[in-house]
Every structure is written in C-alpha cells, then in structure tokens.
Structure 1
Amino acid sequence: MTTDLFTALKAKVTDTGRKIVFPEGTDDRILTAASRLATEQVLQPIVLGDEQAVRVKAAALGLPLEGVEIVNPRRYGGFDELVSAFVERRKGKVTEETARELLFDENYFGTMLVYTGAADGLVSGAAHSTADTVRPALQIIKTKPGIRKTSGVFIMVRGDEKYVFADCAINIAPDSQDLAEIAVESARTAKMFGLKPRVALLSFSTKGSASSPETEKVIEAVRLAKEMAPDLILDGEFQFDAAFVPEVAKKKAPDSVIQGDANVFIFPSLEAGNIGYKIAQRLGGFEAVGPILQGLNKPVNDLSRGCSAEDAYKLALITAAQSLGE
C-alpha cells in the first residue's frame, strides 16, 4: 500500500533537519502541504513569495504557519551573494543584470537556495510547466558526475508489490549510454524505497531472439551498465514476460541472474515507458507514484498542475529522502 510506503519515508526523513523549498508559496495546495509538514515536524518547509500575501492566503485557508519559513526573493538578505554565485555557476553565459532578473523568478531563486545549501531540495510545478521547474535545475544544479541526463521514474504500487519503471517522463529516445545511466540511477531510487534492485532492460527480444538496431541498443546498454555498476543485479535484453515470469525466464533466459524476479524495469524509449506505466496503472490497478526526477546533483521534483495538496506533501517526503542519499 502507498500508505505503508510513505509511512516508511516519513520515518526516514523525520528528525533529519531537511529543508525543502516550495517556489509557489501562495498556491492553496502548496500552503496546505507546507503547513502539514511543519505541523507534523517532518521537515522544514520554505515557501517563496510576498510574506503578507502568503499569510493572508494561509489565514483564509485556516492554516497554521508555525515552522514554515517564508522567503521573499526581492527582500532576501543574501540576494547579492546568490546573484554572484549564479553568475559564477553559469560561467559567462549570463550577466549580473540578467542573473538579477532571473533570480526574481521563484523557481530560479529556489533552485539557487538548493545549490548553495540553504535548502536540501525543491518541489514545484503546481502552477508552472515542467520546463519552468526543470530548466533552472539543469542549468544550476546539473547532473551528477558520470550522468549525462536526468530521467523520470515511477514507483508502481499495488498492495505489497512495488516496482520501479523508467524512463517514463523525460528522455524520448535514449541511446545505449542513456539507458545504462537510467538503469543505474533507477536502482539507487529503488533502494531509497526499500527495494533490493533487480534490474531488467526491456526490449521486444530476449537474449538475442531477434536482431535489429533497437535490440542492439539495449544489449550495449546492458554491457555499459554492468561496467558502471558491476555489483548490481542487472541483465537484458528481455521481453517483459521473461523479466517478470519465472517459468518464462527458465525457458528464454536460463543462464541469466534475472529469473523472472526483476523489480526495476528499464524501457527502451519514452514511448514504451509511458505506455507501460499507464497500462499497469489502468489495467493492472497499480498506483503510479511519480514521476520522480533522478540523476541531478541535488533533488528537484516536478508536480503536475492538476496535483492535490496530498501529492505535494508526498513529493516533499520523496525529495527529502533523495537528499539524504543512499
């Protein structure tokens, strides 16, 4: 059950002093989530916006703000230092004047708080596009060493079953190196959710049963991923049934370390991943938790504009857990 999943995450992040910044400080859903997080003393929420506007909105919603830090970018005492740090980070790509203008934008400002360590992670997207949320992160926080691109995973939950599906959100046509990186990062995400990762890279072929540029891409990705993480239980290429059904695995991949017991599934394209998670969600009755962005130096996550306060609360827990590392 997702209730159990988030109970465990909540216990993991409580008393760790994590600070999560919410750029959309006057959004009803964000304020509701931030107030709850502070009231439960799970983490330290930082909401961005005009303080009076935030307090008026909270009062109208009947929300206590004890424990919620309100920061107005235009009145922030360390604003000049953030501008200088931003100019340095962008290495000649922005002037001081441009940096100052960009940092009046709450997403850029919040991302700089994360980059400089004033916050541990960021949750946005309730009132912004994915591009508005992710672009500052890619420019400022950037991807981890050895990781070229960020990617998006879903945790698929049904009863006691938990699986990781990737990439279902970001990379349209990943190449072999991309898939290898996605596989390794997805295994790390799986560990965060209490899984011992067993990673299967998927295709329409199992261990050479078909040959094409598409299957060769996945075969090469398996080789690269094993080089990147030699201790990881990982294999491919697999059709889904060979990765998931032990009886099929015995016939199609008898010598593989994956014997129908994979719990992390890496799709060969965004098309396949997006279709796959929605089939599991709609036909299989799984709850899809995500997308969760991975591969960044520090965690930034993107809400849907149709999100609920509960979604924002849960994504803050995930972001805080990501900030703790493994």
Structure 2
Amino acid sequence: MKNYIEKFKLFLQKKASSKVKKIVFPEGNDIKIIEAASMCSQLNISKCILLGNYDYINDCAIKSNFFLNKNITIIDPDKIRKDYVQNLFLLRKNKDICNIEQASNLLCNNIILSLMMLHNNDVDGVVAGITHSTADIVRPTFQLIQNNHKNSFVSSVFLMLFPNKVLVYGDCAINKYPDENILAKIAIQSANTAQSIGIFPKIAMLSYSTDTSGSGKSVDRIRQAISIVKNIQPDLLIDGPMQYDTAVSSEIAQKKFPSSSVAGQATVLIFPDLNSGNITYKAVQQSSGIISIGPILQGLRKPVNDLSRGATVQDIIYTTAMTVIQSFDIVKT
C-alpha cells in the first residue's frame, strides 16, 4: 500500500520537474521552509527563492544538515522592495493605495512582495502560509493577482494521500456558505484539478443525507448543484447527495446507494460548506497522519498556494510540486 503513495509522489515530482519553474517562499527564514526548499531542489521539483536573511538561513541549513544547492536562491527582501513600489502603486492607485509612500509601506510585508514578484513574472508561483493565516494570503492574492480579472471565481482543494488512494476534498478553505451555483463551480474546478494530476474524477456531493433518505434546504441545494454541473459539463461523473461513508465505502454504498455509479468509489468529494470541509480534512489528517497537500487554490490567474500553519515538510514539498504543475497552464500577461 505504501507503494501507491510513493508512486503518486513520484508522479508529482516527475511532472513538476518536466519544466523549470521558479517558486518564491516569502517566509524563507522558517526552518520547515528551508528544509522543504532543500528537498525540492534535490528532487528537481522547482527552483526555490527564499526571501530572508542569508546568514540566518545558511546557518540553519548547516546546523540541520540541509543541503542548499544552486537551485536555491536566497534574497534579502529589503534589497528588492523598492523595485516593485511603482508597479504596486499603478496596480492599486484607483482602489486602496493613495500614494507611493503607502505602496512602499505595504511592500514591507513579504507576502505582498512575493505576490508582486509573481505579478511582474519574476517568479512562476508563490507558496506561503506556514506563519500566516489563510486570510493573510488570500486577501492580497485577490487584490493583486485577480485584479480586474472578469468572471473570477476561486475555490480550494486538499489532496489527501491515503495508503491506497488519493482523494480530492473541496472546498475546505475559501467559500464559507456556497449556494448551488458556487457548489457547482467548486465541483467543476475540483474535477479539473483531479484530472491535471492523473485522477479520474468521480464526484460525490456530500450531505447528511444519502439519495432520497433525507430532505431540507441543504439537500435541495446539493441536488440543484448536481443539475447545474450536468448542464454545464454533462461528461462529468457526479452524484449525490450522499454521506461520506457512502462515498468512500463500496460495501456501504451497496446498502445505501446501489444505483449510484459514484458511491463507494468517489475520488472528488465536495463538502456542503466550509465548516464541514475544514473540520473533516483536519480530523482525517490529524487522526491518520497522512500527507495532506494544500489548500490548493483553484481559479487564479497565476498560482498561489496557502500552507496550513500546521503543515509538515512533506506537505510543503508536494504543495510546491502542485504549484509548479498549475503554472504549466498559465499564460504570462
């Protein structure tokens, strides 16, 4: 069973290493980030740019026996902030920035700085969040990366690496109270992410009810979302509402939802709201000790991914690989 996870990790490594991409880590002084960057460079997943103090990072690497090779660049953020002041001012001058001084002050934040590096095409992706909240990452990302992007919709997934399979959980980080239209968009984006990493999407729309066993506004909303998905993308395999156990257990599916072609073999699980999704992913991760990659943000013009503050080094490595893979489909503007 261990071989399955190793094969999937190797698949991500190989796909990421097929093109040379630069990923910036604004929290470059963090020990987990330093170790993950060392591993990413050795595995040839990406070229890593660490924003931080060179002496501190180098000392940490030496003390911890982390190898920092030529694929790792350490940049003192104070030396490059000025390079992005004018562009940040022009980007937000009619919105929330009144003058150059205000733009300069905002760039003291390494998250803002890294996003401007991405906006200017100096890097191909951003991985951040090991010492920041999701809001600290997502809010400026919407302002700077999604700036003036029409029909913008962003959601998230976690890749849950179980011993014998990989499941895609959405949305566990962004959309709090999705209506049927938003649920449909989450399902479609999550299916696309699954396909991008070789997982055939079988989408289970989760609920406290399975098939026709329950009723209520929440269940109706899920049924409406399924109908919307089928109208937009009829080729997708989607079913529900169904309970979590029905979605993942073929034995239970046979008892509760035998008519479903998804139940018991779901690969993409869409939660009805942020509460249920976030609680479930953390409960599963903490109780089983599996690798959890994400949250992977979907729908951005350029890839930015938010780490959980409890992320392990392995989580960071493969979130980085996913960021590289997402950058393949990005056309620089």
Q: What TM-score does the superposition give when structure 1 sets the normalisation length? A: 0.86
> SS at the partner of 1:258?
coil
Structure 1: runs of 5 or more not aligned: none
Q: Which residue number in structure 1 is paired with residue 92 of structure 2?
A: 90
Q: Which residue number in structure 1 is paired with residue 46 of structure 2?
A: 43
Q: Which residue number in structure 1 is paired with residue 153 of structure 2?
A: 148
Letter in 2 for 1:92: N
Q: Bigger CA drift: 293-302 or 243-252?
A: 243-252
Aligned 8 A contact 1:73 1:79 in 2: no
Q: Which residue number in structure 2 is paired with residue 195 of structure 1?
A: 199
* Whole-angstrom CA distance in 2 between matches of 1:243 and 1:36: 35
Q: Which residue number in structure 1 is paired with residue 17 of structure 2?
A: 14
1:53-202 matches, cutoff 5 A: 53-62=56-65, 63-76=67-80, 79-80=82-83, 82-90=84-92, 92-93=94-95, 94-95=97-98, 96-142=100-146, 146-151=151-156, 153-202=157-206
1:295 and 2:305 correspond: no
Return closer, same or farther for 1:161/1:110 CA change in 2, 3 Å cut-off: same
What whole-Å deviation, never above 9, does each CA across 1:160-190 have from its counterpart, x for those lacking one?
2121121222333222122111111111221
* Whole-angstrom CA distance in 1 between matches of 2:288 and 2:27: 34
Return closer, same or farther for 1:57/1:65 CA change in 2, 3 Å cut-off: farther
Q: What TM-score does the superposition give when structure 2 sets the normalisation length? A: 0.84
**CA offset at residue 245 of structure 1?**
4.5
Aligned 8 A contact 1:166 1:267 in 2: yes
**CA offset at residue 156 of structure 1?**
2.2
Letter in 2 for 1:142: Q
Letter in 2 for 1:36: M
* Whole-angstrom CA distance in 2 between matches of 1:155 and 1:304: 13
> SS at the partner of 1:304?
coil
Aligned 8 A contact 1:103 1:109 in 2: yes
Aligned 8 A contact 1:73 1:103 in 2: no
Identity, in percent, stands at 38
Structure 2: runs of 5 or more not aligned: none
Letter in 1 for 2:119: Y
> SS at the partner of 1:292?
strand
* Whole-angstrom CA distance in 1 between matches of 2:40 and 2:141: 24
Q: Which residue number in structure 2 is paired with residue 220 of structure 1?
A: 224
Return closer, same or farther for 1:284/1:59 CA change in 2, 3 Å cut-off: closer
**CA offset at residue 122 of structure 1?**
0.8
Letter in 2 for 1:148: F
Aligned 8 A contact 1:39 1:66 in 2: no
Aligned 8 A contact 1:158 1:285 in 2: no
Q: How many residues align?
A: 323
> SS at the partner of 1:261?
coil
Q: Which residue number in structure 2 is paired with residue 239 of structure 1?
A: 243
Q: Which residue number in structure 1 is paired with residue 315 of structure 2?
A: 311
Q: Which residue number in structure 2 is paired with residue 229 of structure 1?
A: 233
**CA offset at residue 121 of structure 1?**
1.0
